[in-house]
Amino acid sequence: MIEDIELKDKEFDLFQKFIFKEIGISLDNSKKILVKNRLSKQLTKYALNSYSDYYRLIQINSEEKTKMLNLITTNETYFFRENKHFTFIEEEFAPKYQNKKIRIWSAASSIGAEAYSIAMLLDDLELDYEIIASDINTEVIKKANIGLYPIKMMEKIPQRLKLKYCLKGKRAHEGWFLVDRCLIEKIKFEKRNLLEKQLDLGKFDIIFLRNVLIYFNMDMKEKILMNIIKNLKVGSFLILSLTEHLYDVEKYKLKKIHNSIFQKVE
């Protein structure tokens, strides 16, 4: 059976090097099972007998190469993940930006749950805002643009925001909910590679860079951070995941104001 085909160490090494070369992500050896499981269906699709055969396919088929990278970079996400960050926006950030146009970048937006969570909160606070949401994965960008999600992803959304912005599906869409169009119209979803400078995006008041740096080695982390910082206004905020750590903050012209929240100082 295809699903029983072994991903050999030499084959995994090929994919590790290829993925690093293409998008800068470093997959350590603990990710071997993840790679095997995510790519096994592609072996079935093309009736291939080994992961080496699939590796040769992505060398000559650009669409399949994109599909493979999409499969590898799809990550778990949900609405209002790490609620402390949304509390910071509501209680500390928003009161100082009542009469200003706010620009926020969700720099690894996946299927859009982070961007829509931010939009729900800012819209409910009646703030003037614009959100850029980016990801390197083209499939998740398509899903984010639609704004349709399984009903189980609604559970962490505050009740007042569920009632205001989440439309439960009926009949064919039973078990799903649609994000209100008023939010979708305020968010622009784009494909972006964080290893590249994004100066055309302009400056932001907050950049969310959560659950991203863990996939890169030290050199790539530094490159991404240096790129991202260029898009922050002085006095504005960079938000990482609560499980991530940033050392030598002075090197990036940041100061730590809360766990995982940093302010650009110059």
Residue at 83: amino acid letter: N
Reply yes or no on whether 53 is catalytic.
no
Q: In the prediction, which pLDDT does 127 show?
A: 96
- Does residue 142 sit in the same domain as residue 54? no
Dihedral-angle region of residue 28 (phi above 0 means left; psi in -120 to 50 means alpha; beta otherwise): beta
With respect to residue 78, please indicate whether it lies within any of the assigned structural domains. Answer: no
Q: In the prediction, which pLDDT does 3 show?
A: 57
Q: In the prediction, which pLDDT does 169 show?
A: 85
- Does residue 155 sit in the same domain as residue 256? yes
Answer with the one of 22, 43, 73 that is the final residue of a domain: 73
Q: In the prediction, which pLDDT does 76 show?
A: 75
Catalytic residue among 135, 192, 205, 210: 135
With respect to residue 216, please indicate whether it lies within any of the assigned structural domains. Answer: yes
Cα separation, 92 vs 237, in Å, equals 12
Q: How many domains does the chain have?
A: 2
Cα separation, 245 vs 77, in Å, equals 20
| Helix and strand counts by DSSP (H, E) for the chain | 10, 10
Q: In the prediction, which pLDDT does 65 show?
A: 95
Structure tokens belonging to residue 49: 């007998």
117 contact partners, CB below 8 Å, separation of at least 6: 79, 80, 81, 86, 157
- Does residue 249 sit in the same domain as residue 205? yes
Cα separation, 107 vs 1, in Å, equals 39
Residues of the chain with pLDDT under 50: 1
Question: What are the contacts of 217-221 at 24+ separation with CB within 8 A?
Answer: 217/26, 220/24, 220/25, 220/26, 220/195
- Does residue 257 sit in the same domain as residue 155? yes
- pLDDT tens digits, residue range 44-56? 999 999 999 999 9
Among 172, 179, 59, 68, smallest CA distance to 131 is for 179
- Torsions phi, psi of 148, nearest 5? -110, 130
User: What does pTM read for this prediction?
Assistant: 0.87
Reply yes or no on whether 219 is catalytic.
no
Domain containing 37 — which CATH number? Answer: 1.10.155.10
Q: In the prediction, which pLDDT does 1 show?
A: 47
- Does residue 104 sit in the same domain as residue 123? yes
Catalytic residue among 4, 9, 28, 38: 38
Residue 20's domain comprises: 2-73
- Does residue 112 sit in the same domain as residue 56? no
